[in-house]
Amino acid sequence: MPDFGSTTDIIQTIPQDLFAEICEQIIQYLRHQISGVNTVELCQRFQTAGIEISASDLAKVVNTVSSVFSNAAKNKLSPEEFSTRLGSAAGTLPKQALQVIRHVWNEQGNSFTGSEGVNNIGMVGQLIDFQWKLGMAVASDSCRSLKCPYITMAVKVADASGHVTSKSFEMTVPQFQHFYSQFKEMASVLETV
């Protein structure tokens, strides 16, 4: 069932209570109770607790464990079936991590056994936040007077596993107008559905 691969070494560095918190957040995300698992925030909390782990390593753990839980939900595995299939990872994962994964599934996996629970598992990313601001470039090292307006967009997105990332980009006014027209077209299509 699971292929923990390179995440095994990372999981071994995470204390059982913090690993349980990650698993709980993943389940909450899959049940649409939270918008995503904020690995940057978790990473900061881990570092405050004296555990050195990078946000990218934590994201790998979130992606792997999320995949395990979502596959179990899609296959409507009972706690016993889940435990049996998870047993194949017994040689690669620390015993404590296996216990945590089993415990979380035993406690909350039944919420996915209904037909609607399985169908609602997010398989695509989700837009969490969208912000914009208008700016004016007044000068650069190659031009003393630009006076060029631009729009800065900032989006926060949770991928299918719940890992939250933030991206920002700039657009010229004509690019933004094209972007706006695309959104307007999408809105009109959605209104006809």
Predicted local confidence at residue 79, as pLDDT = 83
Position 13 in a domain: yes
Q: 112 and 147, same structural domain?
A: no
Note the pLDDT of residue 115. 45
Domain extent for 72 = 7-119
Same domain, 13 and 84: yes
Instruction: Indicate the number of domains in the chain.
Output: 2
Judged by DSSP in three states, 32 sits in coil
User: Which of 90, 119, 148 is the last residue before a domain boundary?
Assistant: 119
Separation of alpha carbons 47 and 54, rounded Å: 9
Position 117 scores a pLDDT of 46
What percentage of residues in the chain have a pLDDT greater than 90? 9
Mean pLDDT of residues grouped by 10 in the chain (193 residues)?
A: 71 88 88 82 86 85 86 83 76 82 86 54 70 85 78 85 82 89 86 77
Determine which helix (DSSP H) or strand (DSSP E) holds 73, and give its type and residue range. Answer: helix 55-74
Is the same domain home to 141 and 65? no
Tell me, yes or no, whether 39 and 132 share the same domain. Answer: no
* 135/184 same-domain check: yes
- Asked whether residue 63 falls in the same domain as residue 153, the answer is no
Residues 88 and 133 in one domain: no
Helix (H) or strand (E) holding 61: helix 55-74
Measure the CA–CA gap between 12 and 2, rounded to whole angstroms: 16
Residues 15 and 74 in one domain: yes
Q: Which of 119, 143, 177 is the last residue of a domain?
A: 119
Domain membership flag for residue 1: no
114 and 89 inside one domain? yes
Q: Are 16 and 76 members of one domain?
A: yes
DSSP 163: B
**Side chain identity at 110, as an amino acid letter?**
N
E strand or H helix at 102, and its extent? helix 95-108
What is the predicted pLDDT for the residue at 118? Answer: 46
> Is residue 176 a part of any domain in this protein?
yes
Could you tell me if 139 and 113 lie in one domain? Answer: no
Q: What is the pLDDT of residues 42-67, one digit of tens each?
A: 888 888 888 888 888 888 888 888 88
Instruction: Tell me whether residue 2 is in a domain.
Output: no
Q: What is the CA radius of gyration of the chain?
A: 21
Q: Does residue 24 sit within a domain?
A: yes
Residue 56 and residue 22 share a domain: yes
Last residue of a domain, one of 104, 119, 134: 119
